[in-house]
Amino acid sequence: MHLYRIGELSRLAKVSARTIDYYTSMGLIEPAKRSDKNYRLYSHETLQRLERIEDMKKDKYTLDEIKASLDSWSKVTPEEQISLKLTEIQQHLTKLEREVKELEPVIKQLKPRQANRFYSALTPQTAACIEALMLLMNKSSLM
């Protein structure tokens, strides 16, 4: 098992060492062990946890909400984690469907030139996601 010193972890997670110190003091992450020279050593799981924290921050969760969420994840079995994650994905999908439905009338009112400019500005991944959502909603293709 490879363990990271704070500088390595900081570089890999693309967060500052001060952020790692702060997260450690908050209990969001914890070192796996200490080295002979008393350096904190972090595991690969900590790196993954940091990535999850940063993703949740991008989704506008507060650090307290993130801590509560991560704490609840550590108390459930892998099967429960999968079930909870699938529920989260379903809720997110429902939200996206609602947003696509809100856009549908606006898109239908676009003139052909406007629609072409709109579609050409989309990344292939975004276009594929929109197409997949429309298929899930049993709508004909917009593309």
Residues 16 and 41 in one domain: yes
Quick check: helix, strand or coil at residue 42? strand
pLDDT at 4 over 80: yes
Residues 107 and 82 in one domain: yes
Residues 66 and 125 in one domain: no
pLDDT tens readout for residues 10-36: 999 999 999 999 999 999 999 999 989
pLDDT tens readout for residues 54-109: 999 988 889 999 988 888 766 667 777 787 778 888 888 888 778 878 877 887 78
* This prediction's pTM: 0.52
Give the model's pLDDT for residue 86: 80
CA-to-CA separations, 34 to 4, 16, 18, 111, in angstroms, rounded:
11, 20, 18, 64
Confidence label for 139 from pLDDT (cuts 50, 70 and 90): low
CA-to-CA separations, 58 to 44, 53, 83, 117, 142, in angstroms, rounded:
21, 9, 23, 28, 29
Look at 139 and 52; give whichever has higher pLDDT: 52
Give the model's pLDDT for residue 142: 47
Q: Which domain holds residue 102?
A: 78-141
For residues 3-16, average pLDDT: 93
Residues 56 and 103 in one domain: no
Residues 68 and 8 in one domain: yes
- Choose among 6, 76, 80, 83: nearest CA to 46: 6
